[in-house]
Every structure is written in structure tokens, then in C-alpha cells.
Amino acid sequence: MCETLGQTFSERLGYRVMRVVDLDRDMSDVIPTGLTPDSEFLFDRMTQLTLDRTFGASRGGVRPRVLDVASGVGQDSIALAERGADVIGVEPSSRMTGMATLFAADKPGPMPHFVRGWSDRLPFPDGSFDAAFCKGAMDHFDTPERAIEEMARVTRSGGRVVLAIANFESLACRVGRALDDFRQDWLRRAPLRSRRGYDAPSDHFTRYEPDLIREQAEKSLQVEHFEGVSLGWGMPGWSKWTARLPVRIARQAVVGLDRVGRQWPGLSDVIVLSGTPRRSESTSA
């Protein structure tokens, strides 16, 4: 079911801007099934780095208070709660918050709370968290800069905001696009795949690349870390190759490429950026 929510009216421009989001979305189209070694490595390392950077904001001995923005089905919130954080997941989809609450109910120990809400108007007071993170979701937001500003607002001074986002100018995207251009322009043949990995999917508002995420983040954050994760994911044929190689060799290959991606984050498949909130005069916490 699709609903139109939170309409904003731009009188100056003279048109209506509407936010249309599927509030029953359940991610069955996003979470990959039957992972190949390269995908498994990418998702795992992106998650671990994001959670490590987030948990790193804890003050010795005290359970850190953490906000997971666009928490989806809650797997990252749950993982941080298992590490000992007090976590709140905020997410507009009722189906996803419902699934997250069900998944958490099966686990022992203190579990996250999941609440419904939008990233551009987080329902929390200034400075109420030690850290806020958003993984793989900012390209779905209609006002991502506002979301970063909000994450900075609800995070305490000296706390940490962590953003993990796919890079659509990665080496793999550039090579895929160059090959398709060559096939189309010189060989007069169709692209290698119908779904071109270097084009942002239809449910993305923003096509992120390193300069853009840094530029948006720097308005609200003092950037501390700008890190690359994995290299070559989505390169034509690469997934099939890693699936055919012996497991140990495939692992060595993706780990080796990841090291290169760490050296050159601009070419990597995913960017993980973290920083401390810049405080504006209107924010006291």
C-alpha cells in the first residue's frame, strides 16, 4: 500500500512537493538471497565497520545510547543491543518496525525499542544520544541533508554520527559504464545487463558519490573518518567468478581488493563516514 504523507508546499516555486513512501515495505526486494562471496563480504564489512564506529562513541563503562535511523527490520539495532548499547530504531514503515519488534522479542537481554518516524524530523530532544547512525538508507530520503542535521542535533557534543552509503562512482560502476558505452557506441550491441548497477535504482532520490556525501555531511559534522569498503562489487562477471573460485581463494581476493578500497575510498563500493556534530547557536546540548 502506498500513502502520501507529510506534504510540503512550496509557495515560492508554485508547486506541491509530495513524499510518497511505501509504508508497508518489508525489504524482501532489498535483502539479497543466496549471497555470493563478494556480496557476503561487502554487506558484512559495511555492517561491522558501521557498528564499530558507532559503538566507539561509548564513554568508558557506560552503556552508550544509540539511534539507528531508518532501522528497517532492525538487525543492526539488535546487534548493537547485544554488544551492550541502549538502542532506539526509528523507521517510518509499520511493517518493518513490526518485523524488527518480532525479531527482537526472540532474543535474550535488553533489546532495542522501535519507533515510527521520519529522518528529517527525529522525535527526540537535542543531545539525547551518544551516537546516531544510518546505514544504506540515505539515498531513499527526500531531504538527506536535513536528516544529517537532525542526526547531529540529537547526538550529544563530542558524540558520533555514522553514515554508510553505496558509492555510484566506484571503480566497478565506472568500469561497468565504460564497457556498456563501448558496446553501445562502438559495437552497436545492448548493455551487458538490463539492470545497470551504476544507475541509481528507481526508489533512490540521490545518486551518492564520495564528494556529495562529504559535502552534505560537512554542513553538520566535523568529519573524522572517511573510509572505503570493498572494491569491484558489481563489476561484470566478478560475482560469478568469486562463486566459482575455491572459498579460500575467493575470500583472499575480496579481502585483498578491500585493502585497496581502504586506500582509495573514492573507488570503493561503499563509503562509511563518521564525525562529531557541529553545534549551531540554536543547539545547546
Q: Does 206 bind ligand SAM (CB under 6 A)?
A: no
Using CB under 6 A as the binding rule, whether residue 140 contacts ligand SAM is answered as yes
Measured from the CB atom, is 19 or 174 closer to ligand SAM? Answer: 19
* Cβ within 8 Å of residue 199, ≥6 positions away: 168, 207
Residue 41 cell numbers, joined? 563480504
Report the C-alpha gap between 103 and 69 in whole angstroms: 18
Nearer to ligand SAM, 70 or 104 (CB): 70
Nearer to ligand SAM, 91 or 258 (CB): 91
Q: Whole-number minimum distance, CB 135 to ligand SAM, in Å?
A: 4
Site string for ligand SAM, 76-95 (x = CB under 6 A): x--------------xxx--
Torsion of CA 260, 200, 211, 226, to 10 degrees: -50
**Which residue has the CB atom at the shortest distance from ligand SAM?**
72
User: Grid coordinates in use for 190?
Assistant: 545492448
Residues 6+ apart with CB under 8 A from 150: 119, 120, 121, 122
- Given a contact cutoff of 8 angstroms between Cβ atoms, the answer to whether 4 and 19 are in contact is yes
Taking the least distance from each CB to ligand SAM, the nearer of 257 and 270 is 270
Contact residue for ligand SAM among 30, 102, 178, 192 (CB under 6 A): 30
Phi/psi of residue 277, each to 5°? Answer: -65, 140
H/E stretch holding 77 reads helix 75-83
Shortest gap between Cβ of 220 and ligand SAM (angstroms)?
16
Query: Interface with ligand SAM includes 153 (CB under 6 A)?
Result: no
Query: Is 119 a binder of ligand SAM (CB under 6 A)?
Result: yes
SS3 call for 249: helix
Residue 144 vs 250, nearer CB to ligand SAM: 144
Minimal CA–CA distance to 59: which of 85, 80, 88? 85
Rounded alpha-carbon distances, angstroms, from residue 153 to 118, 120, 228: 14, 11, 26
For the chain, the C-alpha Rg in angstroms (whole number) is 20
Q: Which is nearer to ligand SAM, 36 or 93 (CB)?
A: 93
Q: In the stretch 44-83, what mask flags binding to ligand SAM with x, by CB under 6 A? A: --------------------------xxx---x-------
Question: In the set 51, 87, 111, 137, which binds ligand SAM (CB under 6 A)?
Answer: 137
Interacting residue ranges for ligand SAM, rule: CB under 6 A: 21, 25, 30, 70-72, 76, 91-93, 96, 118-119, 135-137, 140-141
